[in-house]
Amino acid sequence: MQLAERVSTITPSSTLAITAKAGELAAQGFDVIGLGAGQPDFNTPDFIIEAALKAVKAGHTKYTPTAGLPELKQAIIAKLKRDQGFDYTPSEIIVGNGAKHVLYLLFQALLNPGDEVIIPAPYWVSYPEQVKLAGGVPVSIATTQEQQFKITAADLEKAATSRTKALILNSPSNPTGMIYKKEDLVPIADFCLKHDILIISDEIYEKLIYNGHSFFSIAQLSDEVKEQTIIINGVSKSHAMTGWRIGYAAGNARLIQAMTNVASHSTSNPASVSQYAAIAAYNGPQESVEEMREAFEKRLNTVYTRLVTLPGVSCVKPQGAFYLFPNIQRASDACGFSDVSAWVAALLDEEKVAVVPGAGFGAPEHIRLSYATSLEKFEGALDRIEHFIKKHT
Ligand code: PLP
């Protein structure tokens, strides 16, 4: 069978691949420590689960409007007002099956063949693949640890062409944990306004910010910038609800309508029960969000201090999300591996520690470690990594 050309360029998600391999080893009885996870290790808060159960029992098990229940749109509008002071209307909101699906709809609705999307690297693995699936061309901008992995307007100037349609900003970032400050964003927004480049602001880690850092959405700069921006967010990371699959976009009504049309012929609405759960998540008490944030912060501060003592490892301290993204090129070279991906494969094989190689994130000298796992497990993993490095050098 001849498959479609569009799938031939797609690489499978490296994060899901490593998680699957670790799962296989665990099923064979090995004591595997997985640091590949991109999801909170906490359960969804009880009151959200109760709201979902109540909705099912009340018979809310039918199709809903494609772009989401009016009550959920209102809860999202209220959240955006509460957190950033934004005013959005229901026609400017679409709810989808997770932020990943909403981004997929966005690229399908936005891109013509050959349209370019600027993606600062390191980037979340799905951005370039989704752009390619929509016929677009991902254009990445390399960044370094020294610049805290942040791009500037000068970088944009070099990367932009007449085909540039959009820029993706992900702050706090997966995988680096870096956060753009207001002053970083002003020149970027000016550039995008001047060249009519849509700003895609992926704010999924908005609630996971540590050690006194703060979140600022680029759309807060002015009404004009807000008009030029589409915000992507959802309940997966903030409310430990990855499996419920609820994410949303807020932006230009014409674009949201086009995304809704694509969804109406592909997925229809997100699961009705999950939408009721998300209404509770946004309208209910937010204490559990803060409790989870505090737990992540404590873990970060403990494991970071130890990580940077490992030979050949350097890492900027993340400010948000729940990942560490160290450069381990020197450790990999000292261990005699051809590249970091080979180092990662041997680590899983010999020490049964699963981390994600940086290549899929556009940063082949790095690895990603998720601290969405217990401190005890993470520290155990660091012991094994240290043993691995010492054994090979
Ligand atoms: N954006 C980023 C940067 C992510 O890391 C993820 C999940 O890992 C998503 C979007 C998608 O989240 P979801 O589809 O669970 O809402």
Q: Would you say 32 and 26 are in contact if contact means Cβ atoms under 8 Å apart? A: yes
Q: Give residue 16's pLDDT.
A: 75
- 325 conformational bin, left if phi > 0, alpha if psi -120 to 50, beta if neither: beta
* Nearest-CA residue for atom 7 of ligand 1: 38
**Residue 141 CA to ligand 1 centre (angstroms):** 21
Neighbours of 212 (CB within 10 A): 6
pTM for this structure?
Answer: 0.97
**For residue 131, which amino acid is it?**
V
The phi, psi pair for 51, rounded to 5°, reads: -65, -40
Sheet holding 198-202, edge to edge: 93-96, 247-250, 229-234, 198-202, 164-170, 116-120, 137-141
From the CA of 235, give the closest atom in ligand 1. Answer: 16
**For residue 152, which amino acid is it?**
T
**Residue 330 CA to ligand 1 centre (angstroms):** 30
Q: State the CATH class of domain 62-283.
A: alpha beta
Q: State the CATH class of domain 5-43+287-388.
A: alpha beta
Q: Which secondary structure element, helix H or strand E, spans residue 184, and what is its range?
A: helix 182-194
What is the distance between the alpha carbons of residues 221 and 342, in angstroms, rounded to a whole number?
44
**Residue 114 CA to ligand 1 centre (angstroms):** 25
Query: Per-residue confidence of the chain (393 residues) as pLDDT tens digits?
Result: 999 988 888 877 777 777 888 889 999 999 999 998 888 999 999 999 999 999 999 999 999 999 999 999 999 999 999 999 999 999 999 999 999 999 999 999 999 999 999 999 999 999 999 999 999 999 999 999 999 999 999 999 999 999 999 999 999 999 999 999 999 999 999 999 999 999 999 999 999 999 999 999 999 999 999 999 999 999 999 999 999 999 999 999 999 999 999 999 999 999 999 999 999 999 999 999 999 999 999 999 999 999 999 999 999 999 999 999 999 999 999 999 999 999 999 999 999 999 999 999 999 999 999 999 999 999 999 999 999 999 999
* Nearest-CA residue for atom 12 of ligand 1: 99
Alpha helices in the chain (DSSP H): 5-8, 14-27, 46-57, 70-84, 99-110, 126-133, 153-159, 182-194, 223-227, 253-264, 272-283, 287-307, 329-334, 340-351, 375-392
What is the distance between the alpha carbons of residues 159 and 391, in angstroms, rounded to a whole number?
43
From the CA of 173, give the closest atom in ligand 1. Answer: 3
Q: Would you say 279 and 51 are in contact if contact means Cβ atoms under 8 Å apart? A: yes
First to last CA, the chain: 48
What is the distance between the alpha carbons of residues 236 and 217, in angstroms, rounded to a whole number?
19
Measuring from each residue's beta carbon to the nearest atom of ligand 1, which residues come in under 6 Å?
Answer: 38, 98-100, 124, 170, 174, 202, 204, 234, 236, 242, 247
Angle at alpha carbon of residue 390, lines to 385 and 393, rounded to 5° = 125
Pocket test for ligand 1, best of 13, 230, 236 (most atoms within 8 A of CB): 236
What is the distance between the alpha carbons of residues 124 and 128, in angstroms, rounded to a whole number?
8
Q: Would you say 135 and 112 are in contact if contact means Cβ atoms under 8 Å apart? A: yes
Q: Give residue 363's pLDDT.
A: 96
> Residue 246 corresponds to which tokens in the numbers above?
């609820």
> Which residues face 139 on adjacent strands?
118
ipTM above 0.90, yes or no: yes
Locate the domains of the chain by residue range: 5-43+287-388, 62-283
From the CA of 321, give the closest atom in ligand 1. Answer: 5
3-class DSSP state of 354: strand
Pocket test for ligand 1, best of 149, 174, 241 (most atoms within 8 A of CB): 174
3-class DSSP state of 121: coil
Q: Give residue 9's pLDDT.
A: 82
**Residue 208 CA to ligand 1 centre (angstroms):** 13
What is the distance between the alpha carbons of residues 152 and 155, in angstroms, rounded to a whole number?
5
What is the distance between the alpha carbons of residues 74 and 93, in angstroms, rounded to a whole number?
9
- Measuring CA to CA, how many Å separate 18 from each of 23, 37, 255, 267? 8, 9, 35, 27
The phi, psi pair for 209, rounded to 5°, reads: -130, 135
Q: In terms of Cα–Cα distance, which of 81, 112, 17 is closest to 250? A: 81
Q: Give residue 11's pLDDT.
A: 78
Q: Give residue 15's pLDDT.
A: 72
